[in-house]
Every structure is written in structure tokens, then in C-alpha cells.
Structure 1
Amino acid sequence: MIYAILETGGKQIWVKPGRFYDINKIYAKPGEYIKLEKVLLLNNEDNLQIGQPCIPNTYIKGKVLKHMKGRKVTIFKMKPKKNMRSKNGHRQSISRILIESIQTK
């Protein structure tokens, strides 16, 4: 089993080839291929590599499937006895990418 842990958008994601993941928006058109180079850990058939902080000469090839918005997060603020209430919402822009392969140079 091959998998990797990569950093993108300030988050660490455990990825496997052939699966799709939702990450913070990447400025690439749907159908374009991208190269993610911040690989923190790589497990390739019982050969474990840990980067300090990243593994050199290793990257993940992915394809942007589509751009969309995430779930709505509601922010509600209230101060008791002051009659202050505010309700706001936010939807994060995300990109769905398909992991094609994990490659070492």
C-alpha cells in the first residue's frame, strides 16, 4: 500500500493514488494537472521516508476535477443583557483533486 502525507493550504492531508480529495482552492482550471511538492511522509511498500520537513525530489501528481464551495459555517455572536446579536455565514472555496500518482525523481 502506497500513501503519503502532504501539506497544502496550511493543512496536512493523508492521500492515496486513485482517490479524490477536497482542498483549499487552487488556481488552476478544471482538467489541468498540478504538482504538489510538499510531501512530509511517504510509505511505499514498507519503505517509510520521513521528511525534515519535506522529502526532497518527491512530488504528487494530481488533476483538478472541479471547483466548488464547502459547507456553510454559521458564526453567531451574542452579548447577554446588551441586546447585541449578529449572525453571519461563510462558505470556503475548495477544489476537488484526483491523485494520479506519487512519484520520486
Structure 2
Amino acid sequence: MIYAIIETNNKQIWVTPGKFYDVDKISAEPGDYIKLSKILFFKKEKETTIGKPCIDNIYAKGRILKHFKSRKITVFKMKPKKNMYSKNGHRQTMSRILIESINTTQKK
């Protein structure tokens, strides 16, 4: 089993090839290929690599499937005894990426 822990938009995600993940919006068009080079941890069968903080010669290749908005989150603020309250909603824009492979670059 091959998997890695990557960092994107200051969030760490456990990824495996062939699966899709929802991350904060990436500024690229759907269908574009991206290279995620901040790999913090890599595991392939019995080989384990830990970065300090990142691994230099490993990257994940992914493809952006679509952009969408996540589910709505309600933000409710209230100050007691002051008759003050506010109710707002927020929907974060997200990107769905498909991790196609986790590759290594050979050092020359």
C-alpha cells in the first residue's frame, strides 16, 4: 500500500493514489494537472520516509476535477443582556482533486 501525507493550504491530508480529495480552492482550471511537492511522510510497502519538514525528491501528481462550494456553516453571535445578535452563513469554495500517482525524482 502506497500513501503519503501532503500539505496544501496549511492543512495536512493523508492521500493514496486513485482517490479524490476536497481541499481549499486551487487557482487552476478543472482538468489541469498539478504537482503537490510538499510531502511530509511517504510509505511504500516496508519503506518509510519522514521529511524534516518536507521530502525533497517525492511529489504527488493530481488532476483538478471540479470547483464547488462546501456545505453552509451557520455563524451565530450573541451578547447577553445587550439585545445584540447576528446570524450569518458561510460557504467555503473548494476544489476536488484526484491523486493519480506519487512519484519520486532521481537525484543526479
Question: What do residues 21-47 of structure 1 show as CA deviations (whole Å, max 9, x unaligned)?
Answer: 000000110001000000000001110
Match of 1:81 in 2: 81
Shift of 1:9: 0.9
Match of 1:46 in 2: 46
1:60-99 map, 5 Å:
60-99=60-99
Count matched residues: 105
The TM-score normalised by the length of structure 2 is 0.96
In 2, the alpha carbon distance for the partners of 1:10 and 1:54 equals: 13
% identity of equivalent residues:
67
Q: Which amino acid aligns with 2:93?
A: S
Gaps of 5+ in 2: none
In 2, the alpha carbon distance for the partners of 1:8 and 1:19 equals: 16
Match of 2:16 in 1: 16
The CA RMSD over aligned residues, in Å, is 0.5
Q: Secondary structure at the match of 1:17?
A: coil
The TM-score normalised by the length of structure 1 is 0.98
Shift of 1:66: 0.1
Q: Which amino acid aligns with 1:17?
A: P
In 2, the alpha carbon distance for the partners of 1:28 and 1:36 equals: 13
Gaps of 5+ in 1: none
After TM superposition, which residue ranges in structure 1, 4 or more long, deviate above 2 angstroms?
Answer: none
Q: Which amino acid aligns with 1:75?
A: V
Shift of 1:70: 0.7
Q: Which amino acid aligns with 2:66?
A: K
